[in-house]
Amino acid sequence: MRRLGVDVGGTFTDLVLWDDDGTTTVHKTPSTNEDPSVGTMKGISALEVKAEIDLESIDMFFHGTTVATNIVLEHNGDDVGLITTEGFRDLLHIARKKRPLNYSNYQELPWQKWQLVPRRNRRTVPERIDASGAVLTSLDEDAVRQEARLLRERGVAAVAIAFLHAYKNPAHEQRAREIVEEEFPEAFISLSSEVASQYREYERFSTTALNAFVGPKTSNYISKLVDEASAAGVSDDVHLMTSAGGLVTARSARQTPVSLLTSGVVAGLIGGCAIGAASGYPSVITLDVGGTSADVGVAPDGRLRMKHLLDTRIGDYHAMVPMAEVDTIGAGGGSIASIDEGGMFRVGPRSAGAVPGPACFDRGGTEPTSTDAMVVLGWLREKSFLSGTMEVRPQLAEQAVRNHIAEPLGQSTEKAAMGIFTVLAHSMTEAISLHSVRKGYDPRDFSLVAEGGAGPLFAWHIAKQLDIPRIIVPTHPGITSAVGLLATDIRYEVPTTVWTSSDQADIDLLAREVARLTDQAVAQLKGDGIPDEHIDLECSVDCRYVGQGYELRVQAPSGEIDADWVEQVAQAFHEQHGRMYSQRFDDKPVQLVNVRMTGIGMVPQIRLPKIAVGDADSTPAKVATAQTLMWTDDAGSPKWVDTDVYSRELLRAGNVFDGPAIVEQFDSTTVIGIGQRATVDELGHIIIERCAQ
């Protein structure tokens, strides 16, 4: 069986071809942002040659794309019309009426400045359903027809239909869709009861409008890719990664593109989980550091944690869709260091990007970046970028750090460079502890997976700071996201709002809803052609104490829905509440707010290939000795030390070496600190652990 994973990022498109026999072929090609399918198809052709295979022999094609994400970030979606309940025309305009900034007269409200639907295209029709789902005012079908015609005349490309309490009773939305389809068959239609079937009208409406906003373009892109892939001979349907960390079929992704928005960063987390599991360490913290940002994820036992639905944002908008918890902070290789007006030392979130880039790239950048700092520290050598194919000028790095930081602060250039690194590493440490220690998870129970080109430059220090016992540096840190695409299952999550409390639980309602969601999830998977024996189900419940406003998600047991099931859910919630807030109230009733059923179409798991075996002696892989600036102990100040430099390609399973050391490979460099020992495992992963000095 052959699987192809293609992850389209902002700069590069990464491809991985994996064969059941263990052969893996990787390829990297520049992304083509105008039409990403061009880069993808080019990459696939190159891979075909490199791996010496026929595209027809590819059994599964997995794809991660930022097409929808970019539309949102660049505000260039399609014109959208909204049909909504009379009296509630401006819910998208009022939003939650809280300003993003406390102390600002001149801020803009993103939902008003970059409206998903301008007011003229927000159309209301008489209809009303109450909180119990009962119809108070029946749908005025003529009004829907009239508005559909108007929107068609105005040339919108998509129509969002969102009515109050439609999560409880979708009948009016469904009927409205039929009418819009009759009047305006070419429109992309998005229903609130399908996109995000949960209470909280603003968030649901916004998600529905966002789906419509990215819908036509994303849908077209996916169709085009499917056609081109099929024309090139790839027999499989394209599967896409969602923000929840599952795969969906092209059919589903085209209907609900809003579910794809954070898939890029989530793929990195899943890749890290797969790598950790393959090396025997399932509990991982992932750190993916690129040019402008760092993504941090925490997965106890390799399980993804989902964000609270009020925190699931993308750019300036709210999207109430399941998103795995990954935090992105503005700290990367291109982060710029500066001294501000008040004399304060700052690093990031401003980034030099690819252009003008770090000063040492000599492309016009003069401000010092994190990359420049690492060149000064000796960790990044002149010939270490892209195997020496890229010129780097260390004296420019030194000059930038000296002029912009060291001299204004009255420090040595080395100290200033170390400062740039420390401040950036600290912001990553804070982000990790926010998602681990502060959520009740002990970093000492985890391994840190260093991903992206720059992750392995930071991981050694962060692991020390947080007392994380082990770092795993994947064989190809730069393509972890593409590996993630191959390492997950097909997943559909269907939610519903139930509102019942544990002391007087409506068992019938719960049983009915769970059965309905189960049918819905199974039908979706069967529609994708997943055979029964590969279908699995997971149920979770969003709970809170009766009277609170924020839910925590807990796993529900499988099996019959009865009083015992409710009790087990309540117990799981008490535990979760205790972990999150250090307090639990076992005597208080628990409100079950939303039930979520995830249908899983299991994909056979990949086995990562093994590398050639060597012995403990790593000297054959040693290519140089360099001078680098390192901390010699936890308290002391940094010193220049002799540092062994290894070539990643020459490392063999079983090799062992101690820090200080540097490992160089095509698109990444790994630092091993003093007091740390690196061991190469059978998969080629470098495992870095603390050792006695």
Partner 1 sequence: MPMTGVSLAPEVPHRTWNSVEVDPITLRVIGGALDSMAKEMAQVLYRMAYSSLIRESEDLGAGIFDVYGRELCESDSTPMHCGSIPAYIKGVNRRLAGSYRPGDVILHNHPYHGAAHSPDYGIIIPIFWNDEHIGFAGCTGHVSDIGGNFPGLCMDVVDVWAEGKLMDSMKIYDAGVRNDMLIQHILDNVRTPEQNRGDLEALVSCARIGEKRFVELLETYGLDTVMSASEAWMDYSENMLRSRIRELPNGSYEAPIGYLDDDGKNRGVPLKVAVRVDIEDDEVLIDLTGSNDQVPTAFNVPFEGSVLPVAVSAIRTILLDEETTPEYVPQNDGCFRPVRAYAPEGTIFNPDFPASCFARFSQVNRVFDSINLALAPILPDQAVAGSSSALCAIAYSGVAEDGESYWVYIEINEGSYGGRNGRDGLDAVDALMANTRNNPIEELELNHAMRAERYELRDESPAPGQWRGGIGSVRRWLMMTDTFLGSEADNRSDPPAGVLGGADGVSGSFVRNPGTEREEVLHSKVTQEVVHAGDTLEIRMPSGGGFGDPFKRDPFAVLHDVWDEYLTSEEAARDYGVVVDTERWVVDDAATSALRSRDSQTRNAEN
Alpha-carbon span 288 to 328, nearest angstrom: 9
Distance of CA 517 to the CA centre of its chain: 26
CB 119, min distance to partner 1, A? 4
Which ranges in 305-454 belong to alpha helices (H)? 370-376, 394-401, 407-409, 413-435
Q: Please answer whether residues 300 and 286 qualify as being in contact, where contact means their C-beta atoms are separated by less than 8 angstroms.
A: no
Nearer to partner 1, 491 or 596 (CB): 596
Q: Which of 19, 201, 288, 489 touches partner 1 (CB under 8 A)?
A: 201
Please tell me whether residue 119 binds partner 1 under the rule CB under 8 A.
Answer: yes
Segment interacting with partner 1 (CB under 8 A) among 22-30, 103-111, 283-291, 389-397 = 103-111
| Residues paired with residue 346 on neighbouring β-strands, in sequence order | 338
Among 1, 54, 96, 558, which residue sits at the site for partner 1 (rule: CB under 8 A)? 96
CB of 145 to partner 1, least distance (A): 21
Percent composition of the chain: helix, strand, coil (DSSP 3-state, to 5): 40, 25, 35
Q: Note whether 28 binds partner 1 by CB under 8 A.
A: no
From 532, 547, 635, 636, residue interacting with partner 1 (rule: CB under 8 A): 547
DSSP character string of 543-601: EEETT-S--EEEEPPSS--SHHHHHHHHHHHHHHHHHHHS---TTS-EEEEEEEEEEEE
Do residues 514 and 595 make contact, with C-beta atoms less than 8 angstroms apart? Answer: yes
Residue among 22, 30, 87, 527 that touches partner 1 (CB under 8 A): 87
Which range, of 145-153, 312-320, 334-342, 477-485, touches partner 1 by CB under 8 A? 334-342
Type of residue at 270: I
Scan residues 427-446 and list those touching partner 1 (CB under 8 A): 427, 430, 434, 438
Segment interacting with partner 1 (CB under 8 A) among 481-489, 556-564, 578-586, 604-612:
578-586
Question: Among 25, 345, 383, 609, which residue interacts with partner 1 (rule: CB under 8 A)?
Answer: 345
Please choose, from the candidates 569, 671, 653, 585, the residue with its C-alpha nearest in 3D space to the C-alpha of residue 614.
653
Of 260, 237, 245, residue with least CA distance to 527: 237
Q: Are 162 and 180 in contact (CB under 8 A)?
A: no
- Out of 20, 54, 56, 130, the only residue in the binding site for partner 1 (CB under 8 A) is 130
Q: Which amino acid, residue 433?
A: S
Decide whether 363 or 444 has the Cβ nearer to partner 1: 444
Beta bridge partners of residue 490, listed in sequence order = 247, 601
Interacting stretch for partner 1, rule CB under 8 A, among 297-305, 421-429, 658-666, 668-676?
Answer: 421-429
Comparison of 108 and 615: residue with beta carbon closer to partner 1: 108
The number of residues that bind partner 1 (CB under 8 A) is 63
**DSSP letters for 272-337:** HHHHHHHTT---EEEEEE-SS-EEEEEEGGGPPPBPPTTS-EETTEE--S--B-EEEES-STTEEE
Strand 470-473 vs strand 447-451: parallel, antiparallel, or unpaired?
A: parallel
Decide whether 18 or 167 has the Cβ nearer to partner 1.
167
Nearest approach in angstroms of CB 445 to partner 1 is 19
Q: Which of 49, 74, 102, 636 binds partner 1 (CB under 8 A)?
A: 102
Residue 484 · residue 270 · CB < 8 Å: yes
Complex with partner 1: residue 100 or 604, whichever CB lies closer: 100
Q: On the CB side of 346, how many CA atoms lie within 13 Å of its CA?
A: 13
**Which residues within the stretch 255-314 sit at the binding site for partner 1 (CB under 8 A)?**
none
98 binds partner 1 (CB under 8 A): yes
**Smaller CB separation from partner 1, 45 or 411:** 411
Please tell me whether residue 579 binds partner 1 under the rule CB under 8 A: no
List of residues contacting partner 1 (CB under 8 A) = 87-91, 93-94, 96-99, 101-109, 112, 118-120, 130-131, 164-165, 167, 199-203, 340-347, 409, 418-419, 422-423, 426-427, 430, 434, 438, 499, 545, 547-550, 580-583, 585
